[in-house]
Structure 1
C-alpha cells in the first residue's frame, strides 16, 4: 500500500479489498485505524475519491486512490526549542528520535524546551509533517521516542501500542537489594502524599514489567545491578515504580529513592529506552530501532563495577 504525505494531506493507494466492503470499513481495516476515527474523517468531509466525498456505506471492490485532507504544512515552533534532534529512523509517515536527558517530550505550558518542538522544527525543514509523539519518556530518561508525521499514522500506532504490538526495551542501572529476574506484576496508582509520584497500589491500574538481570556488582557497600526491562503495559513511571518497590530504585532517581552518582547530569536517571520494535502499518515490514547508550553510562558502570560488554548486540 502506497501512502504519500503532502502539505495538504495524505494520498493513499488502497489495494482491492478481500471482498466487497463499505468504504469506511475498508479504510479502517487497510490503514489499521479505529473505525471511530474513519467515521470522524467522513463527518468532516476529509475523505475524497477523484474529488468527490464518498458515502461511508459505499461498497468498494477495486483498488482505489483516496485523499485524506490534513494540514501538514510547516508549523510555528518556539525559538527556544530549536536544537537539533538525533534521528534514528525516518520514513514518510514515522520517525524515531533519540531523546537526551532533562528534556520534556511535550510542552508543560511554560515555553520550556521540549522534544515535540525540536521534532517539529526538523519536520519543517523537511517541508511537511506534524510532530505527534506516540509515547513519552520521563524528563530524566533517554532513548527512543516514536513519532507519527500525520493523523492516520498516529491513530495506527496508537492502536498498535494499545494492543501490545510496539515492543519497548529499556536498560537501567539500579542500586539496592538483589533483583529477581522475571515478571513484576504490581498495579500502579498515584501517591496521594507526594505530587507527581506514583506507587504500587492495590487500587491502581494493572502494570507488568519483564526483568532480566545482566550484571551485578558490590561496590562501596552497595549492590549495583544492570537490568534489561520490557514494558508489557505503559503506566506512567512504571519501571521506576516497580524497581523502587523491589528495593532497587534506578540510579539518579531521587523521586523514588535512587542513589545519586556524579557521572550523571543533574536530573538524569540511569534509565534508557534502548530498543523499539514494531510492524510498519503500511509496508507490513518489521522495524527495529536502537538508541546508543548515553556517554555517562560508561563512567557510571566503570565506577560501580558493572560491565556494559553484555549489551553488545542487545
Structure 2
C-alpha cells in the first residue's frame, strides 16, 4: 500500500512539474497605432482619414464649409487605448492631438491635420492698375471662396490697411470690389491683399487710385439751367460730401460748343467752392448767344464734369 501510494504521489508531482513547465507567459503588446479614423463629411457620409506617420490627415469635402468640431470613430492596435477617446467631440483643428497608449505602457502622439476642402487659390491679375476712387477693382484668379464672410479684400499703403466691403461681382474666380469715397482713402499707390479661407494672397502689382469721377457724382436733380444769360452765375451740385475734396487744388475749365458756325468759346468759369457738395461758376459777359453745348471739366483729370445743351440769350 505504501509503495502504491508513493507511485501515485510521484506521478502527481511529475504531472504538476510537466504542466508548470508548459505554461507560457505572454508579454504585454507594444503596439500604439491608430488603424482607422472616421468622421462624417459635409453630407453626413463617412470620411476616412489618412494615417501618415504621426499625422491624422483629413481631406474635407471640396468647397464645403468645414465643421468646428468632429466626433471621430477610431480603431486601435490590439490592447491599446486612446485619449481623447473614440466618439468624443474634439475641435476640427490642427491643435487637436491624440495619445495612444500601448498595452505595455509605451505611447505615441498623433496630430490632427485638416487639409480642408478649399483647393489652393491663386490671384492671377488685376483688371486695371489706374482706378478712380469711386470705381471698381477686379481681381481675377480661381478657387476663391465666394462668401464675403470668408473672403476679404484689402488695400494697403504702409501701415494703413483698408477693407473693401462692397462688391459688384463675387465668384470663385472673379471678385469686383467697389473702392468707396471715404476719408480713409486718398489718391496714391496701394498694394492689394486677398484673404480667402486659410490663404492670404498678394497681388503682383500695385494699383494707383485717382480722384473720383465727378460726373458720376453729379446731382442730376439740380442741374444748371438750360437757358443761360451772359454774366449769369449758377451752381453745380454733387451727391457725396467727400467728392470735391480731391479737386480743391485743381482748376476748372469750360467751353461752349455752338450748333452754328460760331467758334467754340473756351473760358475760365471762375469756380468757387461754396460747400462740400456745391461749386459756383460764372458765364462771361461777352459770351455769344445762341444754341450751344456747355461743358465743364477739370484740368487734373481732363474728364468732363458736366455736359448739356443750353440756350444763351
Structure 2 length as normaliser, TM-score?
A: 0.22
- The structure whose residues are more often helix, as a share, is 1
Q: Relative CO higher for 1 or 2, CA cutoff 8 Å, sep ≥ 6?
A: 1
Structure 1 length as normaliser, TM-score?
A: 0.22
Task: Mark the structure with the bigger radius of gyration.
Answer: 2
- The structure whose residues are more often strand, as a share, is 2
